Amino acid sequence: MITCFDIGGSAIKCAVAAADGQISELHRVPTPAHDFAPFTAAMQALIAAGGPSRGIAISIAGVIDPADGRIKCANIPCIDGRTLADDLAAAFGLPVWIINDADSFALAEAQAGAGRGHASVFGLILGTGVGGGLVIGGRLVGGPGGFAGEWGHGPVAAQLAGSPPQAIPRVACGCGQIGCLDTVGGARGLERLHVTLHQQAMDSRDIIGAWQSGDACAARTVDCYIDLLSGPLAMLVNTVGASILPVGGGLANSAPLIARLDQAVRAAILRKTDTPIIVPGQSGAEPGLIGAAWLGLEKLGHKYA
């Protein structure tokens, strides 16, 4: 068995994974985000509670540089800049493997969700911002700096969107660039777009609810939002050859929104198909733990199903 963690800025979630990838009952504690000693102590208590373990697999909201193992994690300051896997392995006396949370979602979907049976899976995150991970042949595709799958960054957001076209201002992104898809593609981007179009601040859930109820302003916002995302996503599909793009994150809870995005992307890709390719994720309520489990089991030599 291995111990699996899904760690975010507010909570540490833990479960034990068996050799078949099935995870046990979930345990959850607050994340000690500002002090490394309580952080490791909280993890150690969860490991001990789970019984004997052959290793620790972690899905985390951060990026690991494969060159030196250092993590970039803005929302957990006590681990930012650390060689986290080495530090935790020394503390626990067990091998430690770490995976980015978007990559973990992609792996969970490829092995236990909507991507089962597909050779190329791109796990698409539409949450506060946007992110993703690519799995080909059951294996995660990495990259220099650990940034593979980050389709939301790069100054490529369109400056006109919708029908009739509406001017869309380019916004500074947290990555340091201007005009990234991350600034328009997630929940905050949808809200920002609504303010731009209608000078009205609304929560993303309320925008989607109003759209589904027939509100004209919300419909205009969603029209522009779909236009902004569908072209870049079609380019991504054409480039990496993904045959399925499961969606996670808060916006994935709106099945009509995901269906609308799927229709627009399928209309723009080279491979024509009547089968949806952008679909809500199906790996379950804890894709972070599931993805971490598959990573750890692979590292221990288990074959993927």
pLDDT reported for residue 143: 64
Same domain as 225, residue 238: yes
Same domain as 153, residue 186: yes
Averaged pLDDT, 276-302: 85
Range of the domain at 148: 116-280
Which of 72-86, 124-138, 224-238 reaches the highest mean pLDDT?
Answer: 224-238
Q: Is residue 59 part of a domain?
A: yes
Q: Is residue 122 part of a domain?
A: yes
Query: Residue 304 has what DSSP assignment?
Result: P
Averaged pLDDT, 124-135: 90
Upstream peptide bond of 164 is cis (omega within 30 degrees of 0) = yes
Q: Over 70: is that where the pLDDT of 144 sits?
A: no
Same domain as 247, residue 155: yes
pLDDT reported for residue 135: 92
Same domain as 128, residue 80: no
Same domain as 98, residue 220: no
User: How confident is residue 139, by pLDDT bands cut at 50, 70 and 90?
Assistant: confident
Report how many domains make up the chain: 2
Same domain as 291, residue 264: no
Range with the poorest average pLDDT among 3-7, 135-139, 190-194: 135-139
pTM of the model: 0.84
Residue ranges in 178-286 assigned as alpha helix (H)? 182-185, 187-198, 204-212, 216-240, 255-268
Burial of 164 (0-12, 13-18, 19+ CB in 10 A): exposed
- In 3D, which of 38, 29, 27 has the Cα closest to residue 10? 29
Contact 260/253 with Cβ under 8 angstroms? Answer: no
CA geometry: angle at 94 spanning 37 and 53, to 5°?
Answer: 105
Q: Over 90: is that where the pLDDT of 284 sits?
A: no
Helix, strand counts (H, E) of the chain: 9, 14
Please provide the average confidence, as pLDDT, over all residues in the chain: 90
d(CA 194, CA 47): 45
